[in-house]
């Protein structure tokens, strides 16, 4: 079954095997640096974020829920989040996707200010110009 492989490796040229493996090794190295290493960095950054969460922080969960951290239980690895006044949920630390900062709140408010602009343009294009 593997006789053709053994025959090819036992040939008179000893450098041929290394040349054949070079593209495979190169693809493995490229895959490591493009896929595996960046994912490890993201994972370490996410774990550091989850360890640095403190009471009173505004967070976004992996389920897309905005909440405020009320209590942290280091022994169980859980946090109590308040998602609305008087409504609290207990989740594992891994459920926290990101910390929300004041800058992100300001950006969201700025985006909402642009709504409603251009409504007057619609009235002008309906043919009311002839009545003027």
Residues in the chain: 132
The whole-number pLDDT of residue 19 equals 83
Residue-range domain boundaries for the chain: 14-52, 54-108
CATH class for the domain made up of 54-108: mainly beta
For 77-91, the pLDDT digits (tens) are: 999 999 999 999 999
Residue 119: pLDDT band (50, 70, 90) is: very low
- Quote the pTM value: 0.56
Nearest to 99 by CA among 49, 59, 54, 65: 59
The whole-number pLDDT of residue 15 equals 59
43-60 per-residue burial string, b: 16 or more CB within 10 A, e: under 16: eeeeeeebeeeeeebbbe
Helices and strands in the chain: count of H runs, count of E runs: 5, 5
The whole-number pLDDT of residue 18 equals 78
The whole-number pLDDT of residue 17 equals 77
pLDDT at position 121 over 90: no
Pair of tokens at residue 89: 């949920």
For 14-57, the pLDDT digits (tens) are: 557 778 888 999 999 999 999 999 999 999 999 999 889 999 99
Compute the chain's Rg from CA coordinates.
30
The whole-number pLDDT of residue 42 equals 92
Q: Chain-centre distance of CA 11, in angstroms?
A: 51
């Amino acid at each position: 079954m593997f006789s053709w492989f053994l025959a090819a490796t036992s040939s008179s040229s000893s450098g041929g095997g290394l040349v054949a493996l070079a593209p495979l090794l190169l693809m493995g190295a490229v895959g490591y640096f493009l896929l595996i290493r960046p994912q490890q960095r993201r994972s370490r950054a996410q774990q550091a974020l989850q360890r640095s969460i403190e009471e009173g922080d505004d967070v976004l969960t992996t389920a897309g829920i905005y909440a405020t951290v009320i209590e942290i239980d280091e022994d169980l690895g859980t946090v109590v989040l308040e998602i609305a006044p008087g409504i609290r949920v207990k989740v594992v630390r891994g459920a926290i996707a990101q910390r929300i900062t004041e800058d992100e709140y300001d950006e969201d408010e700025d985006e909402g200010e642009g709504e409603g602009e251009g409504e007057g343009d619609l009235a002008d294009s309906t043919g009311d110009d002839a009545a003027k």
